[in-house]
Chain A
Amino acid sequence: SQQGEEDPQALSIQEGENATMNCSYKTSINNLQWYRQNSGRGLVHLILIRSNEREKHSGRLRVTLDTSKKSSSLLITASRAADTASYFCATAGRETSGSRLTFGEGTQLTVNP
């Protein structure tokens, strides 16, 4: 079942601005991951945050996790036109094998030059 819900569904910003995407889930998780997908392509792993972590950084990416609210956010700072893509959160549940992920609905990010 699809448990991840993301908002906004679509986000359009200007280059240089920050972009924030949110993800909510329903069940207990081992970890939550964020992926990026360019149109018509496969997904690329961006960052993984474990259930016992609250915040993680990778370059211009910042991910937070609030297990009490079952939610996560992805912040992209100083956005670039090349950041234009769809972004998906995915959860690895405690009840399932480590690699079986449930994906959210995704956020389509458009960064205007």
Chain B
Amino acid sequence: GAVVSQHPSWVICKSGTSVKIECRSLDFQATTMFWYRQFPKQSLMLMATSNEGSKATYEQGVEKDKFLINHASLTLSTLTVTSAHPEDSSFYICSAGNGVGGEKLFFGSGTQLSVL
């Protein structure tokens, strides 16, 4: 099956710093990737849709200047949390479809971000 690799698995950073999370499709090309945020014992909240070669589409209420998304190639999308604050601490997950009917999604293993 298709594999999506997400790095890092966890990161601890100081308040005010920026953190970059990578999401790679290892054995397929992903024209679209999705970024989610998940709080403990809650569902996934879609933050943005990342489109290769164009600007990301952000969900309502998500600050595009805070959460920078770059999808420069068909196998890599990055999410940068800029000037992180403790309230940005969360579990971030990416996913990608393999383009076949655009149906089921393949997920990365997630990144636990802790901002001190």
| Residue among A44, A92, A105, A106 making CB contact with B103, cutoff 8 Å | A92
A85 to B92, CA, bound (A): 18
CA distance A4 to B43 in the complex (A): 10
Task: Return chain A residues, CB-CB under 8 Å to B77.
Answer: none
Does B58 touch A at the CB level, under 8 Å? no
Complex Cα–Cα for A40 and B10 (A): 10
Cross-chain contact B110 with A100 (CB below 8 angstroms): no
Q: Which residues of B in the span 22-71 have a Cβ within 8 Å of any Cβ on A?
A: 32, 34, 41-46, 49
Interface size class of B (residues with CB under 8 A): 20 to 34
A19 CA / B21 CA spacing, docked (Å): 36
Nearest chain-A residue to B112 (Cβ)? A40
- Whether the pair A43, B43 counts as a contact (CB closer than 8 A) is no
> How far is B43's CA from A101's CA once the two chains are assembled, in angstroms?
12
Checking A45, A104, A108 against B105 with a beta-carbon cut-off of 8 angstroms, the contacting residue is A45
Closest to B10 in A: A40
A100 adjacent to B49 (CB under 8 Å):
yes
Chain A: interface residue total (CB-CB under 8 A): 25
Nearest CB on A from B79, distance (A): 14
Name the B residues within 8 Å of A2 (CB-CB): 43, 45
The reply to whether A99 and B110 form a contact with Cβ atoms under 8 Å apart is no
Residues of B within 8 A of A (CB): 4, 6, 32, 34, 41-46, 49, 91, 93, 95, 97, 101-110, 112
- CB<8 Å pairs between A and B, sample of 10: A4-B43, A41-B110, A42-B110, A43-B44, A43-B93, A43-B95, A48-B103, A101-B34, A105-B43, A108-B41
